[in-house]
Amino acid sequence: MPNKIATIPLPTNEPILAYLPNSTERINLKKEISRRKNIVYDIPMIIAGKEVRTNDTVDIFPPHELSHKLAHYHKGNITHVQQAIDAALQAREKWASMHWEDRASVFLKAADLIAGPYRAAINAATMLGQSKNVYQAEIDSACELADFLRFNVYFASQIYNEQPISSPGTRNTLEYRPLEGFVYAVTPFNFTAIAGNLSVSPALMGNVVVWKPSNTQIYSAWTIMEIFKEAGLPDGVINMVFANAAETTNLILSHPSFAGVHFTGSTGVFNSIWETIGKNLHIYKSYPRIVGETGGKDYILAHQSADIDVLATALLRGAFEYQGQKCSACSRAYIPKSIWDTTWEKMYAALKTFKIGNIENFTVIMGAVISEDAFKRITRYIEQAKANPDNIIMYGGNYDNKKGYYIEPTVILTKDPKSATMVEEIFGPVLTIYVYEDEAFDDILHLVDNTSEYALTGAVLAQDTYIIEKMRDRLVNSAGNFYINDKCTGAVVGQQPFGGARKSGTNDKAGSKWNLLRWVSPRTIKENYVPPKYYSYPYMDEE
């Protein structure tokens, strides 16, 4: 019975556990990793709440240990995509008309399951399936996913609370209807939290979803679906399919009830989705919502007044954590000549201590890159960079795919600030540095702003307050997430709403009120308590 007004407390971020030697969380996680390694998971699609198996299976291996089969998933085809659309549309009426607090409670429960009994499972799945080290898995799949779920509920309550004024004799209300149709969630491999959030945020607002995860994230996607089921998500609200990406998209984008796409991935794929929607516009019942967070070519710009220890740390963490496979990863840096030697000395000393290997070893900082395709793409960039006479490979540049897709952290020093690795998204552990003359600082601001088509994240480092102000103002359009004296990665839900502009996406800020607003279509309702009973107005009376 909806006879209540619930108070939704301001959520707090899920604390990051430390995983110190002998800690309970470390023991539990290690146990879960070895339990999982003794099972070959058989992963079905989920359509209308049912497990769907086709026996057309694809094997899943940890990117860092290709000799170990972790799981296989059942590949579907467009018949399954059609079934998923039908299941979603069938679930729509009940889900959309459910009291929003009851929908919310499914996701709040999921958050508590993730933070509690499923924490080891979701972290182990992310470590094994996506080659994240323990810390990277913890901040992504446990903390960020729980944060998305909890903060979304809080922001949804703020949206629902936002109501128009009413003048005497009337009652005006805004009803935040879900979109009329279904939402298509297309998710990337690199964040388990994003994979979960892209279907959860429309679903929380009453929408039904067809979710197509990345093939290289299916292992942890399956754990997310297990958690949603345990949290009580009704059948058909989120349907997960594993069919060919282009075929799935073509079928979905030609359905009259396609109501919106929630995408995170590369710019090229997003562009093709947008173009298809444009071509198919005449088919749809409504104008679809198009939300996409896409690529980045994120920068660190240091001024001569920068603290060199802070700078070296920001560069190393920003560029190489999770093997540089964060959309926000630093992949180009601009350092003044006066501080370059000292900065490099510190970076070099630290890089020599970097351990790269199987992430089951907790002392490792970097695992493997996600796939053979990624390995080929990144190493092609490295080879091209080696062949360019404007470049010096300062560190790394080696790779090996015998046991897993391993690539050394690679630092390129370039004389050409418009060379390929300064401009294009590589999405791997490759950092290119341009050392500039201190006096050319103003020109460098222009260069940073105009080097790439993206505008996702950027960081500036300086101690001089006027310089910080200048960098902040001159680089206003260069990044949707701008950092001062910090690295350019590590946005936290509720604290730094995340997203970029230009070719980095629609900047709808995942995990925020602005994102949730894209998944509703408000209806304005005016009720007149004392309506007029005759057509004429007083001014029409005879003198």
State the residues that interact with ligand NAD by CB under 6 A: 186-191, 194, 212-214, 245-246, 249, 264-266, 269, 272-273, 293-296, 327, 425, 427, 456, 498, 500, 504-505
Cβ 456 to ligand NAD shortest distance, Å:
6
In whole angstroms, the minimum distance from the beta carbon of 155 to ligand NAD comes to 17
Q: Are 411 and 347 in contact (CB under 8 A)?
A: yes
Longest dimension (CA), the chain: 98
Query: Is the Cβ of residue 103 or residue 289 nearer to ligand NAD in the bound state?
Result: 289
Q: Which two tokens stand for residue 321?
A: 């954590």
| Active-site residue, from 293, 321, 360, 408 | 293
Place of tokens 């505008």: 455
Distance CA 222, CA 122 (A): 10
Does the annotation mark 293 as catalytic? yes
| 488 belongs to the catalytic site | no
CA-CA-CA-CA torsion sign (31, 33, 39, 44): positive
Minimum CB distance to ligand NAD, residue 31 (Å): 30
3-state SS, residue 331: strand
Q: Which is nearer to ligand NAD, 266 or 485 (CB)?
A: 266
Give the amino acid at 303.
Answer: H
Beta-bridge partner residues of 528? 170
Q: Which residue type sits at 410?
A: T
Query: Which residue in the shown chain puts its C-beta closest to ligand NAD?
Result: 265
CA distance 348 to 105: 49
Query: C-beta of 80: minimal distance to ligand NAD in Å?
Result: 15
Asked whether the beta carbons of 510 and 340 are under 8 A apart, the reply is no
Q: Which is nearer to ligand NAD, 249 or 432 (CB)?
A: 249
Q: Give strand pairing partners of 102.
A: none
- Pick 210 or 456: Cβ nearer ligand NAD: 456
Cβ of residue 104: shortest distance to ligand NAD, in angstroms?
24
Instruction: Tell me how far, at minimum, the Cβ of 329 lies from ligand NAD, in Å.
Output: 8
* Residue number, 249 or 358, with CB nearest to ligand NAD: 249
C-alpha 347/C-alpha 204 separation (Å) is: 44
Cβ nearer to ligand NAD, comparing 206 with 265: 265
Which of 143, 327, 330, 488 is an active site residue? 327
Cα dihedral 312, 313, 319, 322, rounded to 10, equals 160
CA angle, 284 then 287 then 292, to 5°: 110
Least distance to ligand NAD from the beta carbon of 537, Å?
55
3 state SS for 37-67: HCCCEEECEEECCEEECCCCEEEECCCCCCC
**Which burial class, exposed, middle or buried, applies to 71 when counting CB atoms under 10 A from its CB (0-12, 13-18, 19+)?**
buried
Convert 385-398 to b/e letters by CB count within 10 Å (16 or more is b): beebeebeebbbbe
Alpha carbons 526 and 7: distance in angstroms, whole number: 26
Pick the closer one to ligand NAD by CB: 188 or 288. 188
Tokens linked to 28: 């539990």
Instruction: Give the span between the Cα atoms of 406 and 62, in whole angstroms.
Output: 12
Q: Return the bridge partners of 240, or none.
A: 46, 211
- The CB-of-498 to ligand NAD minimum distance in angstroms stands at 6
* Gap between the Cα atoms of 491 and 458, Å rounded: 12
What residues are labeled active site? 293, 327
